[in-house]
Chains A and B, each alone.
Chain A
Amino acid sequence: MATLTTTPNKRQPKGLVTTIVGYAVLIFFALVFIYPFVIQLTNSFKTEPDAAGNPLSPVPNPVSTAGFERLFDGDFGLWIGNSLLVTVVVTVGRVFLDSLAGYALARLRFRGRGAVFAAVVAVMAVPGVVLFIPKFLVLNQFGIYDTYAALILPLLVDAAGVFIMKQFFESIPLSLEEAARIDGASVFRTFRSVVLPMARPALITLTILSFQGTWNEFPHTLVAVQDPNLFTLPRGLANLVSGSLGSGTQYPLKLGAALLATIPVAIIFAVFQRYFIRGATEGAEKG
C-alpha cells in the first residue's frame, strides 16, 4: 500500500520541503559553529565601548587596532616566541622519536618488544589531568622546574604518536626493506633512506597533530613554569584573562590575543584538512 502512494511524482514536493528544512537546519548550526569566530575576529578590532555595547555586530565601528597595539607593548611577542620554540622543538622531536620507536616496534625483533609496546598502550590510557602534580614533582626533583627543559622534555614523545607510526609501518610492504638489508645497508640507513620516504602521509599526520597539540597545550605549562618570561601563548592568554575575572574590560585586547593564538592552527587546518580528518576518523573507519 504505502509503496503505491509514494510514487516519484507525489514525492517531489515533499522531498523539496525536506531539502529546504535540511539546509535551514544545517545553515543554522553552521552559524552557531562559525559565528563565535566572527565575533572573535571583529570584536578584536573594535574600541572597548563598541565591543561592550554591540558585541554581536560583525562590523567594528570605528575600526581600532588599539587592542593589538597594547598587546604587543606587553609580553605578547615573548609568548609567541616561546610558543614557537616549544612547538617546533617538540614537533621535530616527536616526529623523529615516535617514528623510530614505531618502526622498531613494527619491524625489528628484539627481546622485550612486546613489553615495550604494552607499556606504550598502557601509557595512552593514563588521563592527562591526573598528571599535574606528578609532573611538577619530577621537574622539581630534577631541578629543571621553571626552565625551557621543563616546557619541552616531558612533551618530547607521545605514546599515541608511537602507536600511529607502528600501525603505519606494519601496513607497508617489506620487500624494499629486505632488498636494502640484503644489499648490506644498516638498520638505521634502511630506516632513513627506504622506510621514511614511504611513510610521508603518516609523518605529515603526526607533524600536524603534534603541532596542533603542542601549540594549544595549556595545563602542562601551568605546572612546568611560573616565570612570566617562560609563558607560552595559551599560558599568557589564560593569565591575561583570569587576572581580571568577571570584569568586562579589555575585551578587544583579549579577543585579539585569542585570535592570534587561533590563526596558526586555522591556517594549518585549512591547508591540511584531510590529514586532520583522517587523524580523527582513523578509528571510526573499518580498521
Chain B
Amino acid sequence: MSTVTTAAADRDDRSAGGGRPAHRGSGRRRPRFGRGIRGNEAMAGWLFVLPIVVILGLFLLLPILMAFWVSLTDWRGQGSPFKSGVPFVGGDNYTHLFTQDGLARRDFMTSLRNNFYYVLIVVPVQTALALGLALLVNNRMLKAKGFFRTAFYFPSVTSSVAISVVFLFMFANSGAINGVLSWFGIDGPAWFSDSRGLIHLILGLFGVDSAPAALNDGGPLGLSWWEWLSGPSVAMCAIMFLVIWTTSGTFMLMFLAALQSVPVSLDEASELDGATRWQRFRYVTLPLLKPTMFLVLTLGLIGTWQVFDQIYVMSQGNPAKTTLTPAFLSYRTAFKDLDYGEGAAISFILFVIIIVLTLAQRWIMRDRDEPRRRFRWLR
C-alpha cells in the first residue's frame, strides 16, 4: 500500500514541475472492465460531460446559429428576431459592406485598414521584443532572473480595462509620456485626439502635405488610395504601445521555455569553434526556436485581429474613426446604432478572417513538430 502512495506522490511532484509526457496514443490503453461496469461507465461518462455539453451548446453553438440568422435580417432590437414580422434581407448586410458605396462600407473598410496597420506593427514588434527579453533573461550569468521574468510577465495577467485606464492617464496631453519626451526636447502630440496617419506624417517631412491628385480621386472599395495609405494614426500608436507592453511578457515566457530546452553543450561547442555571438544566435539558437516562433506569430496574428477592450476604454474608435476596428465596429453597429443584422454580418466576416489565418498557420505547420499550445489566445 505504501509503495503505491509514494508512486502517486512522485507522479504528483513531477507533474507539478511542468513537463509531462502526453503521447497521442496513451489514451488507447484502457482497462477492460466487465460488461456491467462498462455500462455503468457509459452512463457516468455522459452524466459527467452533460453540463459542459449543455452550457457550450446553449451559450455558444446555438447563439452562433441565431446570429447567423439575424445577419440575414434587418432586426432592430424590437421583440424577438425569430418572429414572422422581422424583415428578411438575404445577403444584403454582407453586400453592403463590400459592393455598395455608402457609410457602412466606408466604416468597414476603414476598420479593416486600421486593424491591418495595427497587426502589421504589433505582431513583429511584440515578437522581437519578447525574443530579445527572453535572450537577455536566459543569460546563464544573470542574477535575479526570477525578478526580471516576473516584472516582464506581470502586465499580462492584469485587467485590460484597468491597465487601459493607466495608459490613458500616461498618454494624456500633459501626462507621463509627454513629460518624458520633453526631457529630450520633443513636444509630444495630443495622443488621443491626433488622427494624423504615420505614413502621412512621414510624407509630410518630405513636403507632401496633402494628397497628390493621383491618389486622391479613386481607389478601391470606397476609400481613396491616399486614405488606404495613411498608416496607423497617432492615437492608434498609443494603443499599440499598450498592447505590445501587455503581451510581450507572455510570449517572452514561451521563448524562454524553448531556450531553456536548448542544450548548453551546443552553444559551448559553437563557441569553441569560434562562432561569434551573432553567428551562434543566427545559426544555432534561432533555427531551434523556429516552432516557438511560428506559434508566437500565429497567436499574435489571431489576437491582434481581436483587439477590443483597449479600443472601448481608450478611444471608442475616435479620433476621426482612426482607431475603429472590425470588432469594435460590430459592437457599435449592433448595440449603439441598433443595426443588429449589419453588426452580426461584420462579426461573421471577422470570424472568417481569423479562421483563415488559423488554418493558414495549421497548413504551414502541418509537418512540423508543433509545440502543444495553450488555447487561451484563441478564444
Contacts and interface: CB of A to CB of B under 8 A. Distances in A.
Contacts of B261: 285-286
Interface residues of B, number: 133
B58 A138 contact: yes
Interface in A4-27: 6, 19, 22, 25-26
A218 B160 contact: yes
A220 B289 CA distance: 36
Interface string B53-94: 101101111111011001000000000111000000000000
Interface in A147-196: 153-154, 156-160, 162-164, 167-168, 170-176, 178-179, 181, 186-188, 191
B97 interface: no
A280 to B, nearest CB: 5
Contacts of A269: 154, 157
Interface stretch (B100-108, B218-226, B368-376): B368-376
A254 B347 CA distance: 31
B52 A120 contact: yes
Nearest to B292: A284
What secondary structure prevails in chain A residues at the interface with B?
helix
A257 B165 contact: yes
Interface SS, B side: helix
A20 to B, nearest CB: 12
Given A109-B41, A163-B375, A131 B60 contact: yes
B168 to A, nearest CB: 7
A130 B59 CA distance: 13
A284 B376 CA distance: 13
Contact of A237 (B165, B330, B354): B165
B9 to A, nearest CB: 9
B15 A201 contact: yes
B161 A261 contact: yes
Q: Interface size bucket, A side?
A: 35 or more
Nearest to B183: A56
B343 interface: yes
A79 B179 CA distance: 33
Contact of A132 (B8, B42, B347): B347
A113 B45 CA distance: 8
Contact of B258 (A100, A154, A284): A284
Contact of A137 (B12, B56, B70, B316): B70
B269 interface: no
Contacts of B152: 29-30, 33
Interface string B315-355: 11010000000010011001100001001100110110011
B76 to A, nearest CB: 13
Interface of B: 4, 7-8, 11-12, 15-16, 18-22, 26-27, 30-31, 33, 37-38, 40-46, 48-49, 51-53, 55-56, 58-64, 66-67, 70, 80-82, 133, 136-137, 139, 141-142, 147-170, 172-176, 179-180, 192-193, 245, 249-250, 253-258, 261, 272-274, 292, 295, 302, 305-306, 308-309, 312-313, 315-316, 318, 327, 330-331, 334-335, 340, 343-344, 347-348, 350-351, 354-355, 358, 371-376, 378-379
11 contacts: A26-B142, A30-B152, A33-B155, A97-B55, A100-B48, A106-B27, A133-B70, A136-B335, A156-B55, A168-B20, A280-B253
Given A3-B272, A129-B327, A278-B18, 4 more contacts: A101-B52, A106-B27, A127-B305, A131-B64
The 4 closest A-B pairs by CB, nearest first: A110-B45, A134-B63, A104-B48, A287-B372
